[in-house]
C-alpha cells in the first residue's frame, strides 16, 4: 500500500508538520488541511495527533502469482491461515510472518476474514510489506505447493511430534488453524507432518497468532544455525 493523501488538522504546530510537508512534496503526496471533526470521522477514537494518512488498499495477489517452482538458494517459508475469523488475529499473524521473514501469507477467499483496515492496523503495518496471497481452495493450494517442492507443516494440539521434531531448513509452508476449529481435516491430511507446541500450563491451546509467532521463531533459529 502507498500513501495517497495526508490530512493535517488546522492549526497544527508548524515545527511538528514541516518535515511531513517536505516528505510529501518530494513524493508528490497531496496534503489536505482538515478540521478535527473530519479527522475524527476518518479514524474514530484513535489518537491521531492531528495527522492522518490515507493509504491505498493493500495489494492481495492470486496464489498463482507466487514465484514457483522454488529455485531460490535460501529456503522459502510461507504461512497458510486456515479459517482465521478474527481480524486482530489475522493482523497479528501477518505481523509475525513479516517480522520473521516469511515469504508470504496465504488465506482462503471464502472462510477467512478479508484483509480490511482493521487487519492492516492490527498487523502494525506489516501487511504493507508481507506479500498476501488469496486461494479459493486451501487444500488444492497445499497440493500445488507440495508439487513444487514445498513441505506442508501443520499445528495440531493432539499431534505426536512436537515443534522440536520439525525440520524447517527446507522450503515449507506452516498451516495455522483457528483456535475454535483448528486445521480442517482435509487440509491436515495434506500436511507432510503435524506437530504440537510443547506446553506446561493447563490452558488447551495458544492464540493462533501467538502459535504462528512461536513456530516462525523456531524456523528462524534453525535456519540461522544451518
Domain positions in the chain are: 3-55, 60-225
Compute the average pLDDT of residues 158-168: 96
| Residues 80, 86, 92: CA angle, nearest 5 degrees | 60
The listed range with the strongest mean pLDDT (2-16, 68-82, 210-224) is 210-224
Are residues 186 and 53 in contact, defined by beta-carbon separation less than 8 angstroms? no
What are the strands, taking DSSP E only, across 84-201? Answer: 104-108, 132-135, 151-155, 172-177, 193-195
Give pLDDT tens digits for 24-52.
888 878 888 888 888 888 777 777 888 88
pLDDT of residue 72: 62
DSSP assignment string, the chain: --EEEEEEETT--HHHHHHHHHHHHHTT-EEEEE-HHHHHHHHTTS--TTEEEEEPPPPEEEGGGS--S---SSPPEEEEEES---HHHHHHHHHHHHHTT-SEEEEETTTS----HHHHHHTTTGGGTS-EEEES-HHHHHHHHHHTT-EEEEE-TT-SSBGGG---SSSEEEEEEBTTTBS-HHHHTT-SEEEB----SSSS---HHHHHHHHHHHHHHHHHH-
Nearest to 94 by CA among 64, 116, 65, 62: 116
CA distance 93 to 174: 11
**pTM assigned to the model:** 0.77
Give pLDDT tens digits for 176-197.
998 788 999 999 999 999 999 9
Per-residue pLDDT for 56 more than 70?
no
pLDDT of residue 24: 86
pLDDT band with cut points at 50, 70 and 90 for residue 212: very high
pLDDT of residue 69: 59
- Fold classification of 60-225 is Alpha/beta knot (3.40.1280)
65 three-class SS: helix
Amino acid at each position: 500500500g502507498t500513501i495517497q493523501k495526508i490530512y493535517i488538522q488546522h492549526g497544527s504546530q508548524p515545527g511538528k508538520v514541516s518535515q511531513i510537508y517536505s516528505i510529501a512534496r518530494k513524493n508528490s503526496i497531496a496534503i489536505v488541511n482538515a478540521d478535527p471533526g473530519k479527522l475524527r470521522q476518518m479514524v474514530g477514537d484513535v489518537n491521531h495527533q492531528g495527522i492522518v494518512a490515507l493509504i491505498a488498499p493493500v495489494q492481495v495477489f492470486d496464489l498463482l502469482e507466487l514465484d514457483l517452482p522454488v529455485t531460490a538458494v535460501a529456503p522459502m517459508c510461507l504461512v497458510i491461515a486456515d479459517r482465521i475469523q478474527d481480524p486482530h488475529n489475522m493482523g497479528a499473524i501477518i505481523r509475525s510472518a513479516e517480522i520473521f521473514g516469511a515469504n508470504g501469507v496465504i488465506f482462503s477467499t471464502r472462510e477467512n476474514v478479508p484483509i480490511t483496515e482493521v487487519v492492516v492496523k492490527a498487523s502494525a503495518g506489516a501487511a504493507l510489506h508481507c506479500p498476501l496471497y488469496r486461494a479459493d481452495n486451501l487444500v488444492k493450494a497445499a497440493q500445488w505447493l507440495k508439487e513444487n517442492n514445498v513441505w506442508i507443516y501443520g499445528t495440531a494440539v493432539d499431534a505426536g511430534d512436537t515443534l522440536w521434531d520439525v525440520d524447517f531448513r527446507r522450503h515449507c509452508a506452516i498451516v495455522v488453524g483457528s483456535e475454535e476449529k483448528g486445521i480442517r481435516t482435509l487440509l491436515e491430511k495434506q500436511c507432510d507432518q503435524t506437530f504440537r507446541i510443547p506446553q506446561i500450563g493447563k490452558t488447551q491451546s495458544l492464540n493462533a497468532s501467538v502459535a504462528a509467532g512461536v513456530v516462525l521463531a523456531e524456523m528462524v533459529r534453525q535456519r540461522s544455525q544451518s
